[in-house]
Structure 1
Amino acid sequence: MSDGELAAYSLVELAVDRLRRDILSGRTDPGERLVEEQLTKRLGISRAPLREAMRLLAEQGLVEHIPRRGARVATLSDADVGELYEIRDILERHAVTSRPTGADLAGLRSALDVIRAATDQDDRLELANAHRRFHVEVVALSGNRQLTALYETVLVKIQLYMAVNMRREAEVARAEDGVLRHERLFAAVERGDATEILTALSAHGARTYLTR
């Protein structure tokens, strides 16, 4: 790869990273237009690397290209989001009720530590990723790898909306409230009481800020 090609590739990586952070942190809403002229100025790059970055983000399911209208942040219908949350709940409840005793909580504890740190630093992308990891770790305690893999694909699909939910929640609630919810869920898991875990999951408030 020549120096020119390497530089162009680096610009693509830069654009992918910046736009991905904006999208998954909830700074940009699902359906928000991505205007080339604005983005080239903001990122300080030309159209060619930006378009390649948008293509890569589209492959990741984060960007949609609309004929004659340009690109926008990917969207799901309200029905799609509701159905994905329903699937998430079903998988979580199955995992919790089938969890073997004595499961290792190190991964769950680590994810909770990241949630605390990201909340303190107001790092929205890290916080969104940590929330996803925490819930994946809850399901992974079931010991069912196929169930865990399926569950994680569902969470990735709705992370855009989970990030928006957390951003809107931050506007009306204390930042530490999210930490406290996950601490309560962790404590329930640590005690191994399936009924208490299900109650904590039900009170988790995932759907409260779905309206767009």
Structure 2
Amino acid sequence: MTAELGLGAQSLVELALERIRGDILRGAIAPGERLVEEQLTRRFGISRAPVREALRLLGQQGLVEHLPRRGVRVAELSATDMAELFGLRDALERYAVETALAAPPDPERLAVLERATERIERAATQDASLDRADAHREFHVALVALAGHRHLLRVYEPVIMQLQLYMAANMRREAEQRSPAEGAHRHRHLFEAVASGDAATVLAALAGHGAQTYLAPELSPGLDGA
């Protein structure tokens, strides 16, 4: 197949993973929609093995569900799922900040967080919802990575990925409620708090940063911010 020429098995898996995940996170494939291996192999021009492995990895990230005798579909998250995920994200980020700022922030990790902040600000000026969502995820992963805690990051990444799935599905509603520039300002404020090195300041900024702008009012009234 065309895409397989000159590419190793791992590269083919990454190709399929990035394309399927991109389609899911920009809303081109809706929650609950089936993912058929045969259709994906024809679309990407690769064999079934890398597509199957990509779907397995997406299952680990919480973006797809493997259903017995029913195949694979994009994950659907309930109101309870979202409340739990946002609560878990908040708890993990607070723990990461408290761990990271027990000493002065690591300059290299802080630089990564600053670059992620700048990416959010650039994305806010563009009409590209997937770029904004990716920049948002990159920022929060960099925030948790400040702790230098490998196992914490391993637990955190699937949480933020699943939240991005829901955010992508509700990006239009978010745009109607507030501008991308407002979100960029919130993230810059949080970065500056982290750069101050004061854990209490960062925890206060996190509390004000919020978590649940993307939840529909009927799912979680009174909770906002992202």
Which range, TM-score by smaller chain? 0.7 to 0.9
Three-state SS of the structure 2 residue aligned to 1:89 is helix
Tell me how far 1:94 sits from its aligned partner.
1.4
Q: 1:108 to 1:3 in 2, by over 3 A?
A: closer
Q: What residue in structure 2 maps to residue 88 of structure 1?
A: 89
* TM-score under structure 1 length normalisation: 0.75
Tell me how far 1:53 sits from its aligned partner.
7.8
The aligned amino acid for 1:146 is H
Identity of aligned residues (%): 51
For the 8 Å contact 1:165–1:208, the answer to whether it is kept is no
Tell me how far 1:86 sits from its aligned partner.
1.4
Unaligned runs of 5+ in 2: 220-226
Tell me how far 1:92 sits from its aligned partner.
0.9
Tell me how far 1:210 sits from its aligned partner.
1.6
1:79 equivalenced with 2:80 (yes/no) = yes
Take 1:53 and 1:165, find their aligned partners in 2: how far apart are those partners? 30
Q: What residue in structure 2 maps to residue 63 of structure 1?
A: 64
- Equivalent residues in 2 for 1:1-212, closer than 5 Å: 6=5, 17-32=18-33, 45=42, 55-59=52-56, 60-61=58-59, 62-64=63-65, 72-98=73-99, 99-103=101-105, 104=107, 105-211=110-216
The aligned amino acid for 2:151 is Q
Q: 1:120 to 1:3 in 2, by over 3 A?
A: closer
For the 8 Å contact 2:89–2:160, the answer to whether it is kept is yes
Q: 1:56 to 1:108 in 2, by over 3 A?
A: same
The aligned amino acid for 2:141 is V
Q: 1:117 to 1:6 in 2, by over 3 A?
A: same
Unaligned runs of 5+ in 1: none
Take 2:202 and 2:83, find their aligned partners in 1: how far apart are those partners? 22
Tell me how far 1:72 sits from its aligned partner.
3.6
Q: What residue in structure 1 maps to residue 222 of structure 2?
A: none
Three-state SS of the structure 2 residue aligned to 1:120 is coil
For the 8 Å contact 1:96–1:198, the answer to whether it is kept is yes
* TM-score under structure 2 length normalisation: 0.71
Deviations 1:149-178 (A, max 9, x none): 222232223321133344421132212111
